[in-house]
Amino acid sequence: MKKTFKALLPAFLILLIMNNSVAENHENPLLKPFNTLHQTAPFEEIKNEHYLPAFKITIEEARAEIQQVIDNKEKPGFENTVVAMDKAGQRLGTIRKVFFNLNSAETNDEIQKIAQEVAPMLAEFSNDISLNKDLFERVKVVYNQKDKLKLDAEQQTLLEKSYLGFVRNGANLTEEQKVRYREISAELSKLSLKFSENVLAETNAFEMLITDEADLSGLPGFAKEAAAHAAKSKGKEGWLFTLQFPSFGPFIKYADSRELREKIYRAFTTKANKGNEYDNNELIKKIVDLKHERANLLGYDSHADFQLERRMAETQERVLEFLDDLHKASRPVAEKDFAEVTEFAKELGFTGKIQRWDWTYYSEKLKNARYGFNEEEVKPYFKLENVIDGVFGLAKTLYGIELKENKDIQVYHPDVLAYEVFDESGKFLSVLYMDFFPREGKRSGAWMTSFRDQHLKDGKDVRPHVSIVTNFTKPTDTTPSLLTFEEVTTFLHEFGHGLHGMLSKCQYSGTSGTSVFWDFVELPSQIHENWAYEKEWLDLFAVHYETGEKIPAELIEKIVAAKNFQSGYMSERQLSFGMLDMAYHVLTEPLSEKPAELEAKAMAPTELFDPVEGSMMSTAFSHIFAGGYAAGYYSYKWAEVLDADAFAAFKENGIFDKETADSFRENILEKGGSEHPMLLYKRFRGQEPTVDALLERSGLK
């Protein structure tokens, strides 16, 4: 039976929904207006039992709002159709953001269970829109007269995005095909959630308790203290190490015990590949096959063809050529890097063949020997609070914005800090949440997200609520949070994403902030990492947490000198992930081999080590199986080309040059996805980017 909004929503039902909604408002904080400062989410009032009723009610409200667009008796126009659709379902969108952001940053068994129930409901609702023939006809009428409508650039972008959103989500399918499309969408939504849940469960399941202090040999003081604190927090004696990166990373890098390095390495790299209830191999096959089938339904040979149609790269051939070109430039340098570490390990008395759990250990020792650079020497100058001051100060210098903590803004966990963001004139720009430390309810890694996107509503600029989530080194009973240099660059990276959201100056939610082509979204994040290597910036905030001494010039010189250490190896490693991603998604037939077999072949061109039985990237590769990076992981390297070229403009004019910063803000950060990214980039840079700046910066040229 054909499913339409009219069939679902006769007038009496719409009234009933609205009445029920009013009744529920008295009990459910998600359904009341957020009477908080800046209308932020009232986290302290929200309970798990509020989510499901709120989703059910607001999904039906959104249906009613879409139905109003369909029933509009006026001739289809840009405002009454395209803009009306962009505005529809805002309450649902708010609840969706709150719930799924917490499912990533502060989840539990109950939230995960709700997510599994809600995901197919949302997929069905989304399909009810994209597969609605009457709604698509209205959009098509507007799209077919786009050249006569005198739309500005952002309006043209929104119209094209809306029209292609229907086409690329099945609007032109037969009724029989639409039924199958719905089934695929619902199943993918559940499988992706399950994949992520399995990775988190496997991460939390491993603990390595050390009771003999001799086994801590080689570990710096900060790592031992953090491990002792972790053990104590769980009522255990000794030193506790986990697969959370602030724990795993220092152990694999510094621990002298090769046996224990191997143990924790194998645990880290076999996540969701143990044949147990959390194994992701079968999920990978299902996800890959369903995405392939969906692409075929829509008329594409592969999922990569489907995805790349709306990317700067445009085609899989161009992506594969891009990855191969960088591989050719990186491989000789990577082999040299590998040989150097192997030889250095032998000089230190290592016999046999270097294995993956040896690499970081000996690589770090070589870096220390060559540049005098070691993490323990650097960390005391990167107290988290000082780094916050440095990053916020950089934003003020470049873009004139100021961030002020406000403890009256409700947060979802005691660790979370909330800030108000203001421009130079004191005008409010955004709320920013900062969630720094790992915990069992938070997935690993670092990311930026939002609880509310910037847009115009009734002529008023609705400002965004942005969140940055990381898993940085936690403070202990005696030591504050001291960041590694890598964590400092991660902070700058995610804050760059945050600036893209916070400084947005667009008309519509569908074009604002980070709503850009996937291979453009990393430019604002990656360009800001460059300041981590600039003495002028480090001098402004990096002081010893105990003595207050400014970071020594010679230490900064070591940081800069070590910048391209193992750059060939690191480039090959990143390229291997992009190659693996593409290998899954260029398939034109269902996945016929085991994921481990496909992975081994895909990553073979970049491989330097012997394989380790049971170790897999794929089963924990949440970026492509539970995130939005399928056929898009190459975008990190793609954006490196953009950011190296863009930062060259700052280097030419001065790293704090206001005119250059203003241009980057006005042409990139404020514009969101309002125009094609290459047009925006050329307005800032005056030309298209070339790979030369990246090769030179990385020491690959």
Shared domain for 9 and 125, answered yes or no, is yes
Last residue of a domain, one of 513, 548, 568: 513
Instruction: Tell me the pLDDT tens digit for each residue of 519-563.
Output: 999 999 999 999 999 999 999 999 999 999 999 999 999 999 999
- Type of residue numbered 571: S
Q: What is the maximal distance between C-alpha atoms in the chain?
A: 83
572, part of any domain: no
In a domain, 246, yes or no: yes
Same domain flag for 11 and 61? yes
Among residues 202, 494, 572, 675, which one is catalytic? 494
Total count of domains within the chain: 3
The two structure tokens encoding residue 508: 């519509």
CATH number, domain containing residue 45? 1.10.1370.40
Closest to 632 (Cα-Cα) out of 698, 589, 584:
584
> Are residues 141 and 217 both part of a single domain?
no
Task: State the sign of the Cα–Cα–Cα–Cα dihedral 127, 129, 135, 138.
Answer: negative
- Are 54 and 157 contained in the same domain? yes
Residue 435 lies in a domain: yes
Parts of the chain with a pLDDT under 50: 1-24
Domain presence at residue 44 = yes
Distance from C-alpha of 164 to C-alpha of 109, rounded to nearest angstrom: 37
Boundary (domain end) residue, out of 463, 495, 513:
513
500 assigned to some structural domain: yes
Range of the domain at 387: 380-513
CA distance 363 to 355: 12
For residue 505, tell me if it sits in a domain.
yes
**3-state SS string for 140-160:** HHHHHCHHHCCCCHHHHHHHH
Q: How many angstroms separate the CA atoms of 398 and 661, rounded? A: 5
Residue 184 lies in a domain: no
Same domain, 75 and 158: yes
- Shared-domain flag, residues 121 and 223: no
- 487 and 402 share one domain: yes
Distance CA 135, CA 139 (A): 6
Residues 223-270 pLDDT 10s = 999 999 999 999 999 999 999 999 999 999 999 999 999 999 999 999
Q: Examine the domain organization and report whether 155 and 79 are in the same domain.
A: yes
- CATH label of the domain that carries residue 443: 3.40.390.10
> Residues of the chain with pLDDT > 70: what percent?
96
Q: Say whether both 40 and 146 belong to one domain.
A: yes
Identify whether residues 122 and 72 lie together within a single domain: yes
Angstrom distances, CA of residue 424 to CA of 152, 401, 428: 28, 6, 10
Given 456, 479, 513, the domain boundary residue is 513
| Pairwise CA distance, residues 680 & 699, whole Å | 28
Q: Are residues 165 and 214 in the same domain?
A: no
Alpha carbon separation from 285 to 105, 181, 188, 190, 584 (Å, rounded): 27, 18, 11, 14, 9
Q: Is 670 a catalytic residue?
A: no
Kindly state whether residue 466 falls inside one of the protein's structural domains. yes
Is residue 417 within 8 A of residue 404, CB to CB? The reply is: no
571-606 pLDDT per residue, tens: 999 999 999 999 999 999 999 999 999 999 999 999
Residues 52 and 118 in one domain: yes
Rounded Cα–Cα distance for residues 557 and 653 (Å):
22
